[in-house]
Amino acid sequence: MKPRLDDEDPDRLYTITGGRSRVGGGSLDLVTLIVSESEPTAGMQSEHARILRTCRRPTAVVELSADLGLPVSVVRILLCDLLDAGVVTARHPRPTHSPDALPSPELLKRVLLGLRKL
């Protein structure tokens, strides 16, 4: 049985992230899709290897967080390592320019089409 996140040992999270608590930019959205560009290598940190295996197909940051049983902020740190190493790429959501910026009617039409097919 997997440990609940609530009971997570802070020391373990510290070890996983190498003691880092934040990353520059914070540009990885919950729904940024991550894609592997390489296979895991021997000796790689197990969380890194697991991300690479999962992301053979595009996987959202928030899904990785649920899969790994790690808070989103910790997953962001792990992903920054992999992005820096060039072994994953990120497909970012469309930028929203301001809080009241609405998506284009064209995009919303696509969303409606998709929903109606449900």
Partner 1 sequence: MAYGNSDTAARAPLRAGARHGLKIVVVGGFGVGKTTMVRSVSEIRPLSTEETMTTAGVGVDDTTAVRGKTTTTVAFDFGRITLDDEFVLYLFGAPGQERFWFLWDQLFAGTLGAVVLVDTRRLEDSWYAIDRLEHHGTPFVVARNNFGAPRHTLDQLRDALDLPRHVPLVDCDARRRDSSKAVLVALVDHLFALSSAREPTP
Distance CA 72, CA 65 (A): 5
**In this chain, which of 9, 29, 81, 88 binds partner 1, going by CB under 8 A?**
29
C-beta of 35 vs 85, nearer to partner 1: 35
* Binding of partner 1 by 12 (CB under 8 A): no
**In this chain, which of 23, 51, 59, 88 binds partner 1, going by CB under 8 A?**
59
Distance CA 112, CA 43 (A): 46
**In this chain, which of 20, 38, 69, 84 binds partner 1, going by CB under 8 A?**
69
- How far are the Cα atoms of 8, 14, 19 from residue 83, in angstroms, in the given order? 26, 20, 18
Q: How far is the CB of 74 from partner 1 (least distance, A)?
A: 8
Half-sphere exposure of 87 (CA within 13 A, CB side): 19
* Binding of partner 1 by 19 (CB under 8 A): no
C-beta of 4 vs 43, nearer to partner 1: 4
Distance CA 18, CA 110 (A): 42
